[in-house]
Structure 1
Amino acid sequence: MFNLKSSKHTQNIQWSLLSLATSSLAHLLLRIVLGKELGPSGLGLYTLVFTIYLFGMQFGTFGISAALTNYVAEYYDNLPRLKELISSGILGSVLSGSILGLLLYLFSSVISIQLFHNPEMTNLLWVTALCFPFIAMQKAVIGALNGLREMKWYAVVNTAQNILVMIVSFALVRLLKMDVMGAVLGFVIPTITVGLLSLTFTRNFFILPSKTMKKVFKEISRFGFYIVLANSIGMVNTQIGSLVIGYFMNETEVGYYAVATLFLQGVTLLPQAVQAVTTPTIAAYYRKGDFHNIQNLVKNTMFKISAVILCISLLLAIFGKFLITFLFTEEFLPAYLPMLILLVGYFIHSVYASIGGCLSSVGKVHILFKIDMICAGLNLLLNVLLIPQFGLIGAASATSLSMTFTTLVKLSCTKLYTQEKQIKSINFFNAIK
């Protein structure tokens, strides 16, 4: 049974946590530098472009990354099958990433001028579009490494990416004074570099394309279709606030909101690290029809994570003003109240996030998609209604409410679909496979 105290799982969580901690630290340090060098307006413009980049990370692989984690974990002891899965997954992700990059390039002017009323964004989005195929490639490799439970190399890829982003961005913005363009190149150049280098970690699983691989690709694409929609819609729940603020207000308010959400990464850090380990573990239990261990994993993990997250949340609430002033300037203090409101939703969401891959791991990815679609619609509606009236407070309230609602619905479905009575459906699923 999965046990947070077992040496193997503890080691995997440590590697995953190192990866995410490095990402959060690099993100924090970079935002501090950008905030001081570019001011709220420049940081807001960068945040809008970076948010579109984050959507590219979600859409780039078309869900293939998550599909690889699931299927590689299931067929861990079947080497020929693993080679088919990983090879077809990486090739497919490059194709999907290239298509998405082309679309972003073609619609850059529309997004910049029509949506955000900022012509300066056009060139920034053109540059961002270049790295989308490499985003997809890297995400596919990471998904495969996660399924193989090679969390050490999983952490190496992520850590290398984030450290390189921090170094290149600092050099271009602080030393070469390239302003927002330098900040954008700061994540584009490392993404292309690490994307290519990441292929070395799965080189032993590469095979030439075949008819069988086409069938495998269709299988993981069907799984990935719901995953990419669910993940992307789920991302809307956390990122839509910045986009709607950019539409109704201006980049300065986006900069304040970016600082508010930045500190909340500390709340999500540990749950995301744990989820990277629980997701393939649940998939393995699901294949065996072992719902008893799935239930124990869910209960024990959420209970332990909630205690840690509560302490982190209280510290942020108490020292938030000091941290904003110390790390940025007093100019960014309007971010404090939105941060407090967001903290409620992030706390509730983060407790569930530690086992957030459970529904997809037990074959209910379509349920996950439907939940996220409904909740994203609710979030968008609340943002549109509240931001014109209440500004940043409205954005924070809309996001916090929708995250809470989403978490409660997912938790109810997780409880429903991990009951012992579902074993019969597992047997049927295995039979038709």
Structure 2
Amino acid sequence: MFNFKLSKTMRDVQWSFISLATASLSHLLLRIVLGRELGPSGLGVYTLVFTIYIFGTQFAAFGIGAALTKYVAEFNDDLAKTKEYISSGMIGSVITGSAMGIILYLLSDTISTNIFNIPEMAYLLKITALCFPFIAINKAVLGALNGFRSMKAFAFIDIALNATVLLVSVFLVLFLDMNIFGAVLGFVIPTIFLGLIAIFFARSNLIYPNKTFLQNDILRNVLRFGFYVVLGNSIGYIYTNIDSLMIGYYLNETDVGFYAVAAIFIQGITLIPSAIQRITSPIITKNHAKKEYGSIVKLLKSVTLKVFLISLLFSLFLMAIGKTLILTIFGEVFLPAYLPLIILLIGYTIYSTFMSIGTFYSSVGHVKLSYKVALLSAILNIVLNIAFIPKYGIIGAAIATSTSLVVLTLVHFAIIRHFVRRVWKLKV
């Protein structure tokens, strides 16, 4: 008899992939609707607002989700300890989320008028600021579930959020004709609603913050760890999205709309490595705690090779049919997105290998390395964008991003190789 029962790891990857695939599909369908209804200019404004929103969530969540993934996985056998960490994380997420919401609300006029010269963005950013405390709670809960490797519940929350964003946005834009305002409300309302729902999944691991609880260092540990995570994540996010922001600064919202279409297809190449990263993170953390370094190296080699081959095949396929897809889905007006798409595929094909193990530094207790490398890469990307965008437009932005992604990947693997050979004393 054949045994077709999936292992725990494969089931986790499956659920992680489903949640990410749902997110990408929802994102694609929504951009199709917005592109057709709002045109390149409207899609460009929405992309700028959404990019600022996603960047803001890095600070709103403050890396607490990643911290909970690490500590919950590390203390998985100590229920009392995990409850203290999860409760501390929830308290911290409310504080950081509220603070970031206030900051964005106060800076919305400056960002809209002085940086992008699009005054109508101001009220859209003020509305966006309302949902930061709730997305912070959501990410804290997801981090805890990831640490427990409760990927089915993790996927449910993630899928519910993305599906609701799609449905509400389409309803407000298509049926109520609310245009960009409706599109922004389309992600603000579901974010608030699902942030509250997420608490339900963490309720059994929450404890009342008594005096002893408040005097210990757990909340401080979570925030300290989260501080370095948010530095790395926010720099990394700037690194991969600075092109869109700088296109908005140097060019206009229509060019942002063209570039956004190229970025939509790029999401397909990040699906599998992003899904695998959610699983490699707790596995590496647990193996590191047990000092099973050989198992970690074996995992790294196997995962990165397989991810590279899959990404390469997907990129070649997308290069072949990309122009047809853009014409069929978005129309001829969006054809300027095709060449940037080809250029971006080169960089992301190579970078996808590191994406699959992207939490390596934090998983082995060297979280500071992630933001240091990300900072150097971000500086390189910004310099290249400044040099190329004014001269070559959105094609220059794609060249800058793709070049810096290749450099970033090489630097990461050089550091990991040095770390494994010098710290763990293993041959690679």
What TM-score comes out, normalization by structure 2 length? 0.96
The equivalent residue for 2:19 is: 19
Q: Does 1:162 align with 2:162?
A: yes
The equivalent residue for 2:342 is: 340
AA in 2 matched with 1:165: V
SS across alignment from 1:391 = helix
More divergent stretch after superposition (307-316 vs 35-44):
307-316
Deviation at 1:193, TM superposition (A): 0.4
AA in 2 matched with 1:281: I
AA in 2 matched with 1:247: Y
What is the rounded CA distance, in whole Å, between the counterparts of 1:224 and 1:247 in structure 2? Answer: 30
AA in 2 matched with 1:292: G
Deviation at 1:422, TM superposition (A): 2.8
More divergent stretch after superposition (253-262 vs 58-67):
58-67
CA contact (8 A) 1:57 1:139 kept: no
What is the rounded CA distance, in whole Å, between the counterparts of 1:225 and 1:414 in structure 2? Answer: 22
What is the rounded CA distance, in whole Å, between the counterparts of 2:420 and 2:112 in structure 1? Answer: 45
The equivalent residue for 2:239 is: 237
Deviation at 1:6, TM superposition (A): 6.1
AA in 2 matched with 1:162: N
What is the rounded CA distance, in whole Å, between the counterparts of 1:422 and 1:50 in structure 2? Answer: 42
More divergent stretch after superposition (407-416 vs 77-86):
407-416
What is the rounded CA distance, in whole Å, between the counterparts of 1:382 and 1:135 in structure 2? Answer: 32
The equivalent residue for 1:77 is: 77
Deviation at 1:21, TM superposition (A): 0.3
What is the rounded CA distance, in whole Å, between the counterparts of 1:113 and 1:208 in structure 2? Answer: 44
The equivalent residue for 1:316 is: 318
What is the rounded CA distance, in whole Å, between the counterparts of 2:245 and 2:36 in structure 1? Answer: 22
Q: Does 1:221 align with 2:223?
A: yes
SS across alignment from 2:119 = coil
The equivalent residue for 1:55 is: 55
- Per-residue CA deviations over 1:207-239 (Å, capped at 9, x if unaligned) read 111343451011111111111010110111110
SS across alignment from 2:177 = coil
The equivalent residue for 2:415 is: 413
CA contact (8 A) 1:59 1:232 kept: yes
More divergent stretch after superposition (92-101 vs 359-368):
359-368
Deviation at 1:369, TM superposition (A): 1.0
The equivalent residue for 2:381 is: 379
Q: Percent identity?
A: 52
Deviation at 1:247, TM superposition (A): 0.5
AA in 2 matched with 1:388: P
- Per-residue CA deviations over 1:257-302 (Å, capped at 9, x if unaligned) read 0001110111000000000000010000111111100000000011
Decide which of 247, 268, 275 is 1:273's aligned counterpart. Answer: 275
RMSD across aligned positions (CA): 1.3
CA contact (8 A) 1:294 1:418 kept: no
Deviation at 1:421, TM superposition (A): 4.2
What is the rounded CA distance, in whole Å, between the counterparts of 1:149 and 1:312 in structure 2? Answer: 28
What is the rounded CA distance, in whole Å, between the counterparts of 1:402 and 1:93 in structure 2? Answer: 32
What is the rounded CA distance, in whole Å, between the counterparts of 1:197 and 1:356 in structure 2? Answer: 29
What is the rounded CA distance, in whole Å, between the counterparts of 1:109 and 1:36 in structure 2? Answer: 28
Listed as ranges, the matches of 1:115-194 within 5 Å are 115-194=115-194
How many residue pairs were aligned? Answer: 420
AA in 1 matched with 2:76: Y
What is the rounded CA distance, in whole Å, between the counterparts of 2:185 and 2:68 in structure 1? Answer: 29
The equivalent residue for 1:41 is: 41
SS across alignment from 1:118 = coil
Deviation at 1:417, TM superposition (A): 2.1
Deviation at 1:420, TM superposition (A): 7.6
